[in-house]
Structure formats: structure tokens, C-alpha cells
Amino acid sequence: MSEYPVFSVTVDLVMLTVRSDRLHVLLVRRGVAPYLDGWALPGGFVRPDEDLDGAAARELREETGLTAPLGHLEQLASYGAPDRDPRGRVVTVAYLALLPDQPVPVAGGDAASAAWLALPAPELAFDHGRILADGVERARAKLEYTPLATAFCPAEFTVTELREVYQTVWDAHLDPRNFHRKVTTTPGFVEPVGRSVTADRGRPAQLFRRGSAQLLHPPMLRPA
Amino acid sequence: MSEYPVFSVTVDLVMLTVRSDRLHVLLVRRGVAPYLDGWALPGGFVRPDEDLDGAAARELREETGLTAPLGHLEQLASYGAPDRDPRGRVVTVAYLALLPDQPVPVAGGDAASAAWLALPAPELAFDHGRILADGVERARAKLEYTPLATAFCPAEFTVTELREVYQTVWDAHLDPRNFHRKVTTTPGFVEPVGRSVTADRGRPAQLFRRGSAQLLHPPMLRPA
DNA sequence: GTAATAGTGTCTATGAGACACTATTGG
DNA sequence: CCAATAGTGTCTCATAGACACTATTAC
């Protein structure tokens, strides 16, 4: 064991949300070298007694204050090129979080400041640009065959809100009528709450919450 | 950096192949403690100057002798529970390899012996049982929306061989006529070589090679 | 009433699933 | 000719995509 190199292991988070019809990512301004004052994904070292998933959940909590009954957190991929961190051999396990718009970033730790930035994001520190791109692509793909678009919504939401999530993430227009039919007839996608909300004007919209399905059968297909 | 724990980083490989209508995985018998003489996934430590992908490709080469123009290798996931290795804090980055039947395992390194075992596999060392299960599930899912079933086949193959791959990995029966239509009409899935091969008896079958598509549009759906 | 938003019904085209026969080889 | 395997054609059903009107609210 001692003949092999010593690594540090970090978790980095690609936290995405939909705000004002734009996809946003939570970024921090680095307060320490390297890349001092540069934008980076939030993250940090895995602690001695932590699982990887636990470290990611902790970072998510620290950045948002969310104790995470809402939203979605999953492992994305690991990155470990020998030169990816000038300080030494660091492998990072990236996680992808999909969150409703509510959370306000909380500065702390190495982060001089944190902010939700609309995509496309500025140049990022380390290989975080690549990690972010991988996360966005994963999110786009997963909206097709899972109900995870609901992770971008509050606990109760309207069909229109859900459609706006799809349109934003995919950067595409979806027919409101076909979308309504698809969402309400795919088993386990959403279930009606029974109440309605009215926007400023117009007919009140029914509220739904996420259903029990883990996978969409058949999937929601991206427009060609 | 020094205030945080020191990790070792390994890569472990879930190498799958289809042989005699059964899914097989390459396993090694451990020659050292812990889990001495137990079955485990092949793998090893990442070297000082190696990328993670490079370490996985090297392990694949060492186990099979394959210089890998054929088959498919991709990162699966990382596993880092604090107690997953009794020797210390070890994070492993698991890779998934899909390979044609040809390769014969080569014993070496920590492995007292290596063998292709039909699934379901025996109990494995560490958390390798879980990693294997995740790898098989990933393979099953990827056959739906990618042309990766071809990675289990030699460079040139018949439609029947490809169908047997699907049937084995999915443990399901597929209608030969509908399958033939689906494979030959999905753009970029396969392309005809122009030659035929004849089995012992029967009409000769056309040979195909993998096409240029990265994704199947529309996907090949698993039977309900 | 008017503007604004929610929600529904129909027609068509495409693809999946079920199914039976013809084609080409070795023996 | 027979056995074995490859390959094709048709019908039906489910679902996606295009598209226009009705319903309910605030003002």
C-alpha cells in the first residue's frame, strides 16, 4: 500500500436550478490559491469518517442550508488526471444536484462568495468546466427517462411549471397540449393534489406533486 | 491539505462478456489478505502519473492482453465508504468493460488466478458484489439507447448474434423478425459488410459491423 | 367585457408487437 | 428431399405530433 501514491479525495457539486427560464449553477469565488478569485464548483475534502454520498450531502447542506427533503442528489463521475490540481494528486468525485429555485447561497469555508449564475457559465477553475458540462448533459438526458424534472420544482407545482423546466433544460419548445397529456397519462409521473392556484390572471391551475415512478414508461422524448 | 485524511485510490473493473448464452464476468482469486482466496473484481492502484481512464485501460490490458480496439470501456461509479477496505481509506473508481468472447484471462499481479464466471457470481470480496450489480444494471440500461450491444460481438457479426446478446443481457426473448427490422432500419446502428457466413447448416447470414451512431433513435425497448 | 392563462379533443403518422411464409444452404 | 437457419411482409395497436377551441379567473 505504501508503494503507491497518496491521494486527496474531494467532492464537488454541480448544483443546478431553473430561475427565470434560465438554467443556473451555483458557483463559488475561490478565497485561496490556486485560482484565487476564480469561479469554481462548490466542494471540499472528504472527511475521515464520511461516505462519499455523505460528504456530498454535507456540502449541499453547507451551501444551501437545505436539509434536502426536496430536490435530487446523485453521483455524477470522478475526475483524477494527474495534473488537474497543481497542489498534488487530488481525485474528485463529482455529484449532480437538481434543486428548486428557493435556496439562497450561503458563503462559507473556502468560498469568499457564492452565487447562482445563469448558463453558460464563465471559465472555471481546475477541470470544473468539463465537470459542469458533464452534469448539464446528464441532467438533459435524465429528464427523458426519469421524473427528475420534478426535482427542479417545489413540492407542489403546476403542469405549466413542469413544462417550463423541460423547455429550459432542453432549450426547446414543447406543445402545451401534448405535454399535458403526456405528463398526466404516464403512470406514476405526477399525481393531483386536488387543489388549484391562480396566477395573477387566468384560469386556476391544478396542483400536482411528484408520483411514485422512478422511470418514465414510455420516456419523454426530446424534440429532434 | 495535510489536515485531511490520506486516501488510496484504486480502479476496479466489471468486465462482462457473453458466452454460451450466459453473461460472464471476469473475476480473480485474491492472493493476499484481506479476503485471501476470495473472488474479487480485477483492479489495482492508480499509479503516480496515471489518469483514471489510463489506469483502467492498463488493468484491462493486463487482464486480457487486449489492446482494446474492440469492446467498450467506460467509467461506472466510485465507491468510498470508510469501512469498505479494512486496510485503510480506499476509494475505488469502478469501470465497466463490455467485451467479445475471445479473450482468455491472464493471471498476474495480486491475482492467484482469473476466470470468466457465469452470472450470478459467487459472493465477492469488499463491496464488489454491489459494484458488479451496478455494472450489470448499467449494461442492461445502455443496450436500450446505445449501440453498445455490438461491443459484445466480434468486429463482424450477424443479426442473430446481436440478437443473442440482447436476449442474454436482458434475459428475455426477442422476436427475430421485429429485431431484424429494428436493427437494420435504425440509422447508424449497423452497416452491412457485404459478405456472408454460413453456420453448419442453413442459409448464410449477412455480416454487419457497428455503425457510426452513438445513440439509438428511437431506442431499442426492453420487453415489459 | 377583455385579457390572460388552463385545459381538452381529433386527426395523422410513425413505430412496436404479433404473426407465417419464402430463401438458401448442408447433408 | 429434409433439416436448419436467414430473411421478409402485413396487420393492428399504442403513442407522438400537429392543431383550435372552450373554461375560468382578475380587472
Q: How far apart are CA B222 and CA B166, in angstroms?
A: 9
Tell me: the pLDDT tens digits for B156-190? 999 999 999 999 999 999 999 999 999 999 999 99
Q: How far is B220 from chain A (nearest CA, A)?
A: 12
Cell digits for B196? 456472408
pLDDT band at A76 (very low <50, low <70, confident <90, very high): very high
- In this prediction, residue B199 carries a pLDDT of 84
Round the average pLDDT of chain A to a whole number and report it.
93
| B151 and B60 Cβ atoms separated by less than 8 Å | no
Strand D and B180 CB separated by under 7 Å: yes
Distance measured from the CA of protein residue A4 to the C1' of nucleotide C10, in angstroms = 68
Strand D and A195 CB separated by under 7 Å: no
Residue A143 gets which letter from DSSP?
Answer: H
Tell me which chain A residues have a C-beta less than 8 angstroms from the C-beta of B48: 4-5, 82, 89
Q: How far apart are CA B111 and CA A155, in angstroms?
A: 51
Residues with Cβ within 8 Å of A194's Cβ and at least 6 positions away in sequence, in order, are A207
Higher pLDDT, A173 or A70: A173
Picking from A50, A82, A218, the nearest residue to B50 by CB comes out as A82
Domains of chain B in start order, with CATH, are: 8-127 (3.90.79.10), 148-210 (1.10.10.10)
Percent of chain A with pLDDT over 90: 85
Q: Report the protein residue whose CA lies nearest the C1' of nucleotide D5.
A: B202
Cβ–Cβ below 8 Å for B1 and A49: no
Tell me which chain B residues have a C-beta less than 8 angstroms from the C-beta of A9: 7, 9, 80, 91
Within its chain, how far is the Cα of A130 from the centroid? 15
Q: How far apart are CA A147 and CA B83, in angstroms?
A: 33
If you average pLDDT over residues B4-29, what whole number do you get?
95
Q: Regarding beta strands A205-210 and A190-197, do their DSSP bridges make them parallel or antiparallel, or are they unpaired? A: antiparallel
Tell me: the pLDDT tens digits for B35-67? 999 999 999 999 999 999 999 999 999 888 776
- In this prediction, residue B224 carries a pLDDT of 82
Percent of chain B with pLDDT over 90: 85
CA distances (Å), origin B27, targets B121, B136, B195: 9, 14, 36
Within its chain, how far is the Cα of A191 from the centroid? 23
Q: How far is B207 from chain A (nearest CA, A)?
A: 30
pLDDT band at B191 (very low <50, low <70, confident <90, very high): very high
Tell me: the pLDDT tens digits for B102-131? 767 665 555 558 899 999 999 999 999 999
Tell me: the pLDDT tens digits for A26-71? 999 998 989 999 999 999 999 999 999 999 999 999 888 776 678 9
Asked if residue A21 has pLDDT above 90, the reply is yes
